[in-house]
Structure formats: C-alpha cells, structure tokens
Structure 1
Amino acid sequence: MNVPRALGRIAPRGGHRLSGHASGLSTRACVCRSAGLIALTSLLLSSLVPSAGAAPDAGDSSGQGETPAPVQILDLTTASGQATEVGQSGLDDVQTSAGEEAGSADAASVSAAPVLGASAAVLALTQTTGAAGAPAASILPAATDPQADATLLTDPLEVDRFFVAGFTWAGGADLPEGVRIYLRVRENGAWSPWYLNEAADAGRDDRATSATGEFVTGGADAIQASVVGSSLPAGLKLALVPSRPQGEEVLDADDLTTTQAAPTPVIEETAASQPQGAQVEPAATAPSVSPAWGTQPAAVPAAVSVAAPAVAPAATTANGLPVAVTTRAEWGAKASYMSWDPEYASAGHVVVHHTAGTNSYSAGQSASIVRGIYYYHAVVLDWGDIGYNFLVDKFGTVFEGRSGSVAAPAGTMSIGAHARGVNTGTMGISMMGDYSTVSPSDAQLSAVGKMAGWFLKRAGISDVTGWAGLHVWTTERYQAGSTISMPRILGHRDVGYTTCPGNVGYSKLGAIRAIAKAQGSTPQGGSSSAPSTVSQDHPGAAALRSALGANGWIGPATSGVQASTKGGV
C-alpha cells in the first residue's frame, strides 16, 4: 500500500530522458559550482566525529514500542538500464543551475577574482596524515561532483524515517566499469556529505551479491542519490529500511515529495586496490606474499552444521564474554526473516569491518540500525541472516549478529557473510559507522579488542598479535584454494577489494590488537562444550565438493598467496 506524502510531488519532466544529458556532462562538470561550502566545513567535520560521550537516550532496544513500517523501495533504472522518472528527476535542476552559474561567472569575469575557483568549489573530506603521523581529516577539491557529474540524479526526496539504506541491481556482482554510486541523507534537518557506496565485497560464499554494503543513519527522513559513470546498472533500486520493517512498498514518482538541499562536501577515500599498512601502528601491514606453510595448509577449517542453540532473552556474558552482549532476542531479530541455519567451523582469525554511513545515531537508535542491517542482509540481499558475527556501536555496546555467534563452542565460530572468501575460519566484527575520515571511539575500540581477545583466547591462540595461515574458500582478492598468511586480527581490505574498515579505522588495528592481547591475559570462564549434533557441511557444499581436487582442496595444493585476477590484481 502506498503511503501518501503531505506536500508537492515530483513534477513530470515533459519527455525529458537520460540520453538528453549525455552531451552536457563535461560542460556541467566544468562550470563554477556552489562556493558556499567553506562556511559549512567546521559544522560538517564536527558532525562526522562519533561522540560516544553523549548520554544514551531512552529507547526500546527490541523495537516493540515502535510501529511496524514497510521498507521503501525506489526504482532508479529500468531492466534495460535506463533512468526512471525518479532516477533522472534531479538532472534538469543541475542543468538549469549550471546555466545560471555559468552566466553569473561570465558577468563577474570583469571584476576581482573570486575567493574560490571552479575546481575548489566542491570540497572533499579525505584522510591524510597529521602531526606525528596521526590520521586527520583534510579538505580538498573533490575529484567527483555527484551532482554536476551525474548520469543519474534524483531530486532531494522526502521519505519516511529509515535507519539503513542500500542499492541493489540486476546482473553481476560488479558495477559497470567506472560507475560510482553516491548517497546523501537528511538527519535532524541537516544534510550529510555525499558518501560513496561501494559494491559489497561481502556475502555468502555460495552466491554472488549484486548490491552495495549497508549505509547506516541516525534516522534519516530525506535522500538524494547519484550515479556517476558512462553507463548505468540495470534494475538499480534503493532500499530504505525502518526500525521495524514489515513488508515492502515501491515508491513511484507520484508518491514522493521534493525538498531543498544545500550543497555538501564529498567523503572521498582512496580505493584500497592493495592492502594498506597503518601509518601509526606498524603492525597493521599488508599480508605476506612469502610461503608461510608447507605444500598443504596446516589447519583446515572443519565446518559443521548444527541446530541453533536457544539465545538468552537479554544481554549476556555467557561463554566467558568479556563484555555484555545484546543478544538477538533482546534487539528483536524477527525469526521469519532468517532462512540460514547456523553452521560452525574451526576459526582462528578476526576480520574487522565498519558499516559505512553517518555517525549521527544515538545509543537508543543502535538496535534499530542492527534490525535494519539484519533485514537488508537477510531479506533484501537474500543471505538468510545478518552477515556479521558481532556489531559494536560508537558507545561500546556489542550486539550479536549471525545466529549462533554467542553460543559458538571454543575454537569455532558461526560461519557468516562478512568477507567473501574467508567467511569460514574467521569471526567478523563490525564497527557501526563510517571510519574513513574520523576515528572510532575509545569505547568502540575497547569493545572490539576485548571481543577479539576473548574469541582468540578460547581458540587456544596465545599470540593474538601474530600471523597465521588463512584458507581462502571463494575467489575474491585471492584465489580459492590458497592459504594466505594474515594477522590474527585483520581488516576487511586485507582480503577484499574494499576500503573497509576505512582509512582511520584500519589505522587503529594496532590499538585493537593491543587491547586483545591484554584481554587474552585475563582469566575468563564460561562453557566451551560443543553442540551435540555434528555433521560435515559447508555453505554451498555441493558446489564446493564438486570442485575439490584429490588433495581435498579447491584446485591444486598450494602454499603462500595466489592473488586472483579479479579487481585487476
């Protein structure tokens, strides 16, 4: 059922089509762009910092006090890859604005030079190195203007309140070459910067994912989407997930209200085509390319499929957990959305992630975000469950993600969908927020480090800051069948084509390892008994078994790193 909007609608564009914009892209990209951004910079920078010291607001963490609402779906391109009316609604405004600004620039050319040149009018917030090598946000001209350079651009659109957004498309997991998707949102009356939404380098090992990763908000009520590139992905959709999702609602142009949005900067981060070492903590280095094992891996993650143990109805410290963990029952995981039973495997590595999105959420909104990520992963992306084993908000609150993660026997973890290729053999823990240009809070880093130390200590690993072999099950950055030498605690970008967990987040891996090491020296109790029902299995087991060689591995026995050809490596 369509929910009526209160104000004006998107005006019909009178035969306006995407092809009519192609010749004007380069002209629009060169005209003078809004020069009023400098005044916004300090405000925007302060809004990006995750202020964990704020008093938590009251909130119903299970979501039972909130009214269920449909997931809003915006169709942005057709099945043939043409922009829809919604998808091209903002392009006319950009052309009109560009013409007006160009005329103003011509008239002003006889006067004194402006303070900002055309190339400096659109700003980017990027991560650089400050004093003593500390990561710091800098303000530079943006390489891409999501409005002036757009092939697809919506109007700024009012929508019902949502906490998680994500883009999906038809066809392969990779976007067309050179295509970049941007999103900005309005929270509490203020527009966020433009954020680049990466194609997801996560998902189950038995299927491809044609989508971006989740984008979290502090309860946004308006959006503007942009696609930059020479072609558009077919069937592009934007999903907006509320606190208590129930059903889905496709919004047509007549259902949407346009609003006003001042120019905002772009969050830019160098694509991590190669793993980057942290500038502050030297321990966060690239994976070794020298053979660390013999001709066959020393330890094979042995997957087992078991029934999910019952979870506690409230935050728990079972299994010797070093911090209280908000269980699935407490944050309100809806059982009907889950179709992927827990599968346990031997595991001895921790992969650190961030969710991307804004850092504006309150403590009372964290559970809403987790429920939104759960729906996006389990239903929209059809994974059947949330991909992360654990999530940590900026206040240091830990949430159980993948079913069975809290109850996992010592030395094992419920196989997730957080890092394709190495979902088996790892625990995935995600810091909620975007840590490209700002640092995770101390409370967040402490909780991540303690959870990593708890997990590795239970696995009998004494050197949590060391390196060990990690088997690759599905080709992403590295070839399936390889065993790569990786730090026990690593970043997602070390094993995938992604900037996750952000440049600043990645630079904090050394601090996380130090916290994990300290946690590893702390006595911990808890049961380590194994589940009673055990059978050999693995995600996509039939497909994997058909690919196994005589040595029991996918392809020939190997040692060291075999980089894949995917992503240009």
Structure 2
Amino acid sequence: MFKISSMRGYFASSIGVACATVLALSAPLPAAAAGGPGVHRPPATRPVTGATVPGSTQSFPLVPLNPDRAAGTAPEMGLAPQSVRSFSLVGVVWDDPATELHGHVQIRTRASGADRWSAWQDVETHNHGHGPDPASDEGSSSRMRGSTAPLWVGDSDGVEVRVRAEADQVGGTRTPTLPDGLRVELVDPGAEPGQGALAPSSQADPVQRSDEDLPYGGTGADAIASAVEAGLASLNASMNASMFPAPSDETTNEADVDQAGEVRGGPSAAAKPFAAPRPRIVTRSGWGADESLRESGFVYTGSVKAAFVHHTASGNNYTCAQAPSVIRGIYRYHVVSSGWRDIGYNFLIDKCGNIYEGRAGGVDKPVMGAHTLGFNTNTTGIAVLGSFTSTAPSAAAVNSVAALTAWKLGLTGIDPRGTTYLTSGGGNLYPKGANVRLNVISGHRDGFATECPGKLLYGKLGSIRTAAARLQGR
C-alpha cells in the first residue's frame, strides 16, 4: 500500500482540468488477405487531450506451414504474405508466458508504398529473461503472454512470417514443438505527440491502492496528478551544460519545463558526497507515451542497489529522429501484446546518446520494472535501443549509460565500481531465494542466462563503471 502525498491535491488543482477531458476512439478491423482474419487491438480508449493518433496493434494467428509433415519433422508455423495497415514494429507472442519458443522466427516485410519485399530478418526468440518476476502480481497476471523480442522494421504495409521448431541441442531427446497460440503482432507506434499537448508523465506520489485495484486506463485525478512528473525528468542546465552535449537535431525533446515554464532540476551534485549531476532525460510525454495504455498505479521497491544494462534486440536500423517511435512501439508491444503493466525498462538510450524515461513512477524513484527476470526488485533496468551481438554500441550511447548510472546510483551514494547482494526471485541461473553477489552495474546475462545485452555492449561495462565513478567524483 502506498501513502497519498499531501502535495497531490495541490498539484492536481494547479494543473486544473487540462488533463480531465478524454476521448473514446474506435477503429475498423484490418482488411485481411490470405491466411485468415486478423484481430485488431484498438488504440487507447482514453487518449490524452491534445495528443495525436495513439497507434494500434494488428494481431494475426500463425497457421501450420507443413501440416502433412513426416514423423519427427520439426513443425513450422507461419503467415502467408499479407497486405495490412501500416505498422513499424513486429513480434511474435504465444499463450503461456512460462513456455519458451525453442526455434527460429523469421519475418520479411514490404515498405509502405513499395513493391519489393525485404530480405528475411531473424527475430530474437530468447526473450524469456525479460519481464516481470513470476511471483509478482504483474508476472502472475492472466494478461501475460510469452513473446519474442520486438523488431523495428520501419513503415510497412506487408508482412510474411515463418517459425520453425528446433530439436533439443543436448542429446536430441526433446521432440520439437512450438508453443500454443502463436500470433504475429504488428505495432503502429502512432504519430509524434502534438506540440503543446499536455501528456501526463510519471507520478511522484502514488495513490493508495492494491495491485488488484489497478485496471488499465489511468484517468481523473490519477492522470492529472501524474502530469506533474513531466517536469521532474529535466536538465539542470547550469550544472550539466559543459558535461553533457545537447541532443542531436533529430531527437524529440519536450517538457524540460513544467506548464508554467519553470525548470525542474534533479538532485544537485552538491547535495551529498559522490552524487553525480542529473543528465538530460526525455520524459514520457516527450516521447509520446499514451498513458491510458498502462496500469494507473505504480510499484516501488526498497531502493535501487544495482543497474542492469540491456539491449532491446530490436535491430539497429533506426535513426535518432525515429527513436521516440521505436520506444512507443516497444511500449505498446510490452503492454498490449505481452500483457505487462507498462514498458519493462526504467530507462532507454538511443544511438545518439539521448536518455528516455521508461516505466512510469518517477525517474528518481525505486520503480519496479520488468527487465531482468528474478532481479527486478531493488534494481533499475537501462536498455540501449539496438542489437549488439555483432554491432558495437555508439560511443554516445555508452557515455550516456555511464552518466545515467552515475546519477541514479549516486542518489543513494552507491559506488558504480562496487558489488552488492540481491535476492533472486527465481530464474535459470539462480534459484528463488538465493543471495547473489553481483556488480552494481551488471549486464542482463549476469542475472539470467541470455545473450543480452549483446557481447559488444557487455564488453563496455568495465569502462562504464570507471566513467560513472569518475562522474561521481571518485
């Protein structure tokens, strides 16, 4: 249960009715070609006043591609070439979140307005280690589904999918199977947020309620008060101007000030020893989060003792100007397609080094994310947009990981070069309840057997720890 802050009423009244008006939208079903009808998951029913089109999700069931296969042949599922409404991000989901997809997923797409199809692209299937802990209210929700990593493909209006099961690599004893309920999810991230739109971001002071009382669609006082957070993820310009360059011209950056134009700075580096300055952070309203998608409440843990670094495995074929759209696509895929309460990561960073607020609840708060299965408690999850198994992360992205971890860990005086103990919530490396010693800045693979964050980003963690400590003045 959470305490209701006395400041909540003040903030709500000062914002007034700017966020109180909501709209009800509906959308037609997609025109499906061969391969069976698709299910349209409509945009939010209560978008923020002044926001632009919030996006949508098209969902198509996968069907057997080799129904007459011989005994012992690996099953294949897929979707014949389809002409669909515009989408930019794609992934595959299935019914049981506890079931892993042992196989290969490939997708090819057709760019909107073009005749040629892309080459086949592999989708990262080993995504089980991302998500809420199984014992948590979020992880045990009936909305949860298994899912691949999402893949950014750019504006497209055609799709084809093939999924093939693989045999057990150890001894060959497991009969090749695929999960039940396989579907391909086509995500339209929606348009950029409108200029001057008052879109709520995170909320500093939660409403008192239990997880069972948190349906999707925050409205009324919740949405009004959460608008206050739009100013909390901002730049202390006088302190940071010489340390952190302004974002590239391609980057969407909104709401570094509140509605009255007041700059809201983060904790000062002079507030405590070894506290680093707060880097510039693009708020949820800045990247266009549709706040009616997520659950309206927040879950906090005791404190942030460690940071896990991830890659989104969504590919590197995006520009920095497209990064807000990529994040909106991942957000919708996590919530609508995978059944999570919000985007899983606490922060995201693009290839130009721009830092974005992820899961709602306050960038300076210990918000429980859904990023490292078994270790979401007392940690923060930072994801770099891209795939870094064979591609190196940009220097700008690496520098921003160091700046962000220096500030976030510095809020509680934690040395980025140190180690800490975390209690496992259960996973494939450590059993539930195990007391595990981990680096304060760890890669996802340190807490779960996975390739994430890719070997080339993982190899940068040593220099990130050193740089973060230097930014703290150590």
Deviations 1:133-159 (A, max 9, x none): xxxxxxxxxxxxxxx987124334443
What SS does the aligned partner of 2:229 have? coil
* 1:429 corresponding residue in structure 2: 382
8 Å contact from structure 2 (residues 75, 177) kept in 1: no
Residue correspondence of structure 1 range 79-228 to structure 2 within 5 A: 83=64, 88=65, 151-175=76-100, 178-186=102-110, 191=118, 194-198=121-125, 199-205=127-133, 206=136, 207=139, 209-228=145-164
* 2:58 corresponding residue in structure 1: 72
Q: Which amino acid aligns with 1:311?
A: E
Q: 1:520 to 1:156 in 2, by over 3 A?
A: farther
Q: Tell me which moved more, 312-321 or 452-461.
A: 312-321
* 1:398 corresponding residue in structure 2: 355
Q: Tell me which moved more, 373-382 or 167-176.
A: 167-176
Residue correspondence of structure 1 range 423-502 to structure 2 within 5 A: 423-462=376-415, 464-502=416-454
Q: 2:322 aligns with which of 365, 370, 375?
A: 365
* 1:249 corresponding residue in structure 2: none
8 Å contact from structure 1 (residues 76, 238) kept in 2: yes
* 1:348 corresponding residue in structure 2: 305
* 1:242 corresponding residue in structure 2: 188
Q: 1:477 to 1:219 in 2, by over 3 A?
A: farther
What SS does the aligned partner of 1:424 have? coil
Q: Which amino acid aligns with 1:235?
A: G
* 2:10 corresponding residue in structure 1: none
Greater share of helix residues, 1 or 2? 1
Unaligned runs of 5+ residues in structure 2 are 1-27, 37-47, 166-175, 192-203, 208-224, 232-254, 257-263, 269-276
Residue 388 (1) aligns with residue 345 (2): yes
8 Å contact from structure 1 (residues 453, 516) kept in 2: yes
Higher CA-based Rg: 1
- How far did residue 433 of structure 1 move? 1.1
Q: 2:266 aligns with which of 314, 318, 321?
A: 318
Partner Cα separation in structure 1 for residue 298 and residue 342 of structure 2: 9
Q: Which amino acid aligns with 1:312?
A: A
- How far did residue 397 of structure 1 move? 1.1
Residue correspondence of structure 1 range 219-368 to structure 2 within 5 A: 219-229=155-165, 230-244=176-190, 306-307=206-207, 310-312=228-230, 314-315=255-256, 318-320=266-268, 322-339=278-295, 341-345=297-301, 346-368=303-325
What SS does the aligned partner of 1:344 have? coil
Q: 1:483 to 1:428 in 2, by over 3 A?
A: same
What SS does the aligned partner of 2:267 have? helix
Q: CA RMSD in A?
A: 3.1
Partner Cα separation in structure 2 for residue 217 and residue 64 of structure 1: 28
- How far did residue 468 of structure 1 move? 1.8
Percent identical: 30
Number of corresponding residues: 341
8 Å contact from structure 2 (residues 123, 150) kept in 1: no
TM-score of the superposed pair, with normalisation by structure 2: 0.65
* 1:102 corresponding residue in structure 2: none
- How far did residue 487 of structure 1 move? 0.9
Partner Cα separation in structure 1 for residue 94 and residue 315 of structure 2: 23
Partner Cα separation in structure 1 for residue 156 and residue 58 of structure 2: 13
Q: 1:194 to 1:459 in 2, by over 3 A?
A: same
Q: Which amino acid aligns with 2:447?
A: V
